[in-house]
Amino acid sequence: MSAMTDKKQQFIVASETIAKVKDEIQSFIVGQNEVIDQVLWSIFSGGHVLLEGLPGLGKTMLIKTISECLDLKFSRIQFTPDIMPSDITGTMLLQPDETGRQNFIFHKGPLFANIILADEINRATPKTQSALLEAMGEKTVTIMGKTNQMESPFFVLATQNPIDMEGTYPLPEAQTDRFICKIHVHYPSKEELKEIVMRTTGTQTIQLEKVAQLQDVIALQQLTKEILVSNDMIDFAVSLISATHPDGDDSTEMVKQFVQYGSGPRGLQSLISMAKARALSLGRYHVSMSDMKQVAKPVLRHRLILNFEGEANGITADQIIEHILDHLGQGARG
């Protein structure tokens, strides 16, 4: 009984810590409540994030603010068409030792940090983008046959501009699938715009408090894994993923008409992990249906590939996901 009480207390403290982190972030970042939630869920579930939004909406500042509140080592990489893989991963250099003999020494690149801001990732060439694949998937970097372990925790938070396509290289599906979710950053409201001006154009300087430490983040990741998921919730998640496949038995007419490829197993894993993180942030020990529905769009929107007819009709992945959720809900009620 004592062990159970201690575990419950850990979950309570964890949810309070997450709430404090969010409050501290919002003391500097105006609005973007949903975006902040989804980024924090991603971090505590151990996943990477792709943020998509127009320039000037505060994507870079948000990521930097989160790293300060969590007291994590932050590194920013500005992607450009001429940036090389070694510019981000590091390289082997010849250096003399005490005896004067030349030896290869690995010099770490900016990728070796806890939170990596991959700014405008779609401006890098496919060769440089692919250099991130091993680091994001395996949390290692291999240079000249030597494998180097990334620091822990390790997150890549990448940004991309959805409208300026000149000089960009669209991320391949293998790369986008590595991101646990894709978050849309929208325009602030009138009230939020006014608050942004008041906070940023005056003389007041906001000092952010380090609400959590590196070990706290690791502990929160571990607690996220311990959140319970019932068989019913797993069955729902499996049905949701299966319903995104146009040739599947569970797919609807809308999916068959407009979707070319649906989500794979990694989408299912991401769905469960994000739902667990949301449950933890709300102080619950188990995943609920609301958790599944709230994380479905950010987790799946970049994993659905629409066909020509879907794109021509202006159908979005979010509309498809909303349709599937409605369909599954009707089936559950029926």
Mapped to the 3 state alphabet, what secondary structure does 186-203 carry?
A: CCCCHHHHHHHHHHHCCC
Asked if 4 and 45 touch (Cβ cutoff 8 Å), the reply is no
Asked if 208 and 65 touch (Cβ cutoff 8 Å), the reply is yes
pLDDT for 231: 92
pLDDT for 334: 35
Q: What is the mean pLDDT of residues 140-153?
A: 76
What is 227-334's CATH topology? Helicase, Ruva Protein; domain 3 (1.10.8)
pTM: 0.84
Residues belonging to the chain: 334
pLDDT band at 235 (very low <50, low <70, confident <90, very high): very high
d(CA 179, CA 182): 7
pLDDT for 66: 83
d(CA 251, CA 240): 9
Q: What is the mean pLDDT of residues 206-235?
A: 85
Residue 146's DSSP bridge partners are 143
pLDDT for 331: 47
Q: Which residues contact 174 (CB under 8 A, 6 or more apart)?
A: 133
Q: Give the least confident one: 37-51, 153-167, 179-193, 267-281.
A: 153-167
pLDDT for 330: 58
- The domains of the chain are located at 18-202, 227-334
What is 18-202's CATH topology? Rossmann fold (3.40.50)
Q: Which pair of tokens denotes residue 77?
A: 């990489």
